[in-house]
Structure 1
């Protein structure tokens, strides 16, 4: 009959979490298939365990590495005649694999940082084009609010700067 010990915990089935069909998960399903005597896929699809939820092409795709849905995996295990212990272990492994497939969350600052980096790269490209064409770079305005405040601030200070003391 089917060997259930290695599937009981689901630890072996989960593997490295590289995704379904990454090798180990598919190997365990193939092993189950071989332990059932490698019946024709058409007979597995017509079995009472599959309950009309699987076609022979779907079974073939899953055995060759296509990511099954939870319902497909459950039906396939039932078609193999897997024990309850094996089914529970495989489904637990399936859920752990799915949990690892989610991309990391993106935080709002990351979006802003990417935009700033893009803008800086475009600015650097534009400066390189200008230098290549012989166009002088535009002078940067080094104005800050603190420098305006220390010089007496505003237009009155700018107007007085050109006058001679009397």
Structure 2
């Protein structure tokens, strides 16, 4: 699969045309989707809850994941650790229905606003958000430098949901 812009992507139920990047004006002010993928063929995607605005996760999309998200209305990502296309919720049932998709000014980052099926959790560890801990900064560091949990209860038990599926976290 190629990941350069200017190609039609077959994404299952439909195709998505990704425009070639031809000028700064076209990229910043134009109406064509001309994403800039990095050297690994990926684009960063920030995913937030459509109602609360809470950041749920940060992921990556290749051209296929981007096209499938656009055509299906459900979030697809590229798993860097497993090196596979990943339909969020296919295993867990915690499908992310896309309410809105935006692309940033230079088209190298995507923002998804989603509704999450089931418990509303998006983290494979069982928490609602993948950002369930905060890092103390500035004056907060005087009270210690350990991570602080901002979510105290998991929304689901990962063993019940994923069983013996391999954990995507890599050391």
After TM superposition, the score normalised by the length of structure 1 is 0.22
Point out the structure with the larger strand share: 2
Structure 2 length-normalised TM: 0.22
The structure with the greater share of residues assigned to helix is 1
Larger Rg: 1
